[in-house]
Amino acid sequence: MTRAAPVRSGIIGTGFMGTVHTRAVRAAGGQVVAYAGRDLDRTRKVADAQGVELVLRPEELISHPDVDVVHICTPNAQHVALATAAIRAGKHVVCEKPLALTLAEADALDRLAVESGVVNVVPFVYRYYPAVREARARISQAGERIWLAHGHYLQDWLADRETYNWRIDEGESRAFADIGVHWCDLFEFISGHRISRLSARFSQLHDRRTGPSGDVAVDTEDAVTMLFETDLGATGSVVISQASRGRKNRLWMELDGEAMSYSFDQETPDRLEIGSTEGTLVVPKGAETTRDSAAVAPYLLVPAGHPQGYQDAFTLLMAEVIEAVRGRAVAGMPTFSDGVRAAAITAAVVASSESETWSPVASTELQRSA
């Protein structure tokens, strides 16, 4: 039997995500053949540390014949131009979230990717925890009617006025576009519901921060409080914050069904809590505990009791990217259409916070598949 040639990745942007993607591609059996960045000397240093040979300019990486998949791990404002160029060059694309700064741009990019027939992925990576798959499978198998959803996604890295980052002055939303979209994607993925209308309120801890050029005004939100309704009749609420002291990456959600409740915490991702009136059952991830082996086993990298974390979730995502590049359909892999969905929810959040009224979420994905 001949072995399939390795799928070769080129990564643009070599900060936090660039190195997470690098480790994940390699662990999934792919190769990282090139890096590109804004500053070639800095990119060369990261390339040396990671053992990546080629350091190119972004446009050179995109057109390089040895690159099969272009990973876009740059700040958000560069996503559309780089992804468009990569698709036009016939490359498969993994583009970090948010796919674009506006819904119209995200939608155009998705259409281009679909028309071009390239594999297109947005790393909504929290889908790749076994406990998430377990919750999704149990809710679906039991036909559980989810009537209420609640949760939060809290971080504290922007709690200090002196902290500055490129995210602070990009786009009309910061906290929601950056992390709120992960919560909504995970909620919709687990429950099968779609958020149809929402009421959102932005809050700012700091309206001025110490930026690279001194004291600057800040327009983007530090937090969002949101109420929502879904197409399947549930209601919910979520708080998103990047300035809640003591919370590092606490994505927590609970889905209340008629018979059971299901809760998941990204910071203890190996366990699913299932509540009933008799008490709460903690289900550890594992082959012995799953109710749906077909749905969950592919996401069990190590046996029960052996922790599986964020980087592992990325490995599982990249393994699916490689499968898709090899022409095998992968259900549940987050694509550009999920990035469009996130952009539609973000647009509704911005509209609602500005108008101080409820806003509908544009149903681009539903119209297209109708």
Ligand X SMILES: NC(=O)c1ccc[n+]([C@@H]2O[C@H](COP(=O)([O-])OP(=O)(O)OC[C@H]3O[C@@H](n4cnc5c(N)ncnc54)[C@H](O)[C@@H]3O)[C@@H](O)[C@H]2O)c1
- The interface mask with ligand X, positions 27-46, x = CB under 6 A, is ----------xxx-------
Q: How far is CA 150 from CA 147, 191, 256, 265, 347, in A?
A: 10, 12, 8, 12, 21
Q: Would you give the distance in Å from CA 283 to the centre of its chain? A: 24
Q: In this structure, are residues 330 and 323 in contact, taking their beta carbons and an 8 Å threshold?
A: yes
Q: Work out how close the CB of 133 gets to ligand X at its nearest, in angstroms, rounded to a whole number.
A: 17
Residue linked to tokens 């009537």: 147
- The interface mask with ligand X, positions 5-24, x = CB under 6 A, is -------xxxxxx-------
Closest CB to ligand X among residues 100, 226: 100
| Interface pick for ligand X out of 10, 25, 34, 58 (rule CB under 6 A) | 58
Which 3 state secondary structure label does DSSP give 291? coil
Closest CB to ligand X among residues 36, 260: 36
Q: Work out how close the CB of 74 gets to ligand X at its nearest, in angstroms, rounded to a whole number.
A: 4
> Which residues lie closer than 8 Å to 342 by C-beta, 6 or more apart?
97, 98, 99, 106, 122, 124, 181, 184, 185
Closest CB to ligand X among residues 310, 358: 310
Q: Work out how close the CB of 15 gets to ligand X at its nearest, in angstroms, rounded to a whole number.
A: 2
Does 97 sit near ligand X (CB under 6 A)?
A: yes
Closest CB to ligand X among residues 39, 278: 39
Two tokens, residue 253: 């959600």
Q: In this structure, are residues 222 and 203 in contact, taking their beta carbons and an 8 Å threshold?
A: yes
Binding piece for ligand X, criterion CB under 6 A, among 72-80, 188-196, 270-278, 288-296? 72-80
Residue linked to tokens 């964020």: 310
- The interface mask with ligand X, positions 98-137, x = CB under 6 A, is -------------------------x-x------------
> Measured on CA atoms in the order 168, 171, 172, 173, is the torsion positive or negative?
negative
Closest CB to ligand X among residues 293, 311: 311
| Interface pick for ligand X out of 34, 35, 69, 76 (rule CB under 6 A) | 76
CA atoms within 13 A on the CB side of 299: 28
Please give the residue ranges that form the binding site for ligand X (CB under 6 A).
12-17, 37-39, 58, 73-76, 78, 96-97, 123, 125, 178
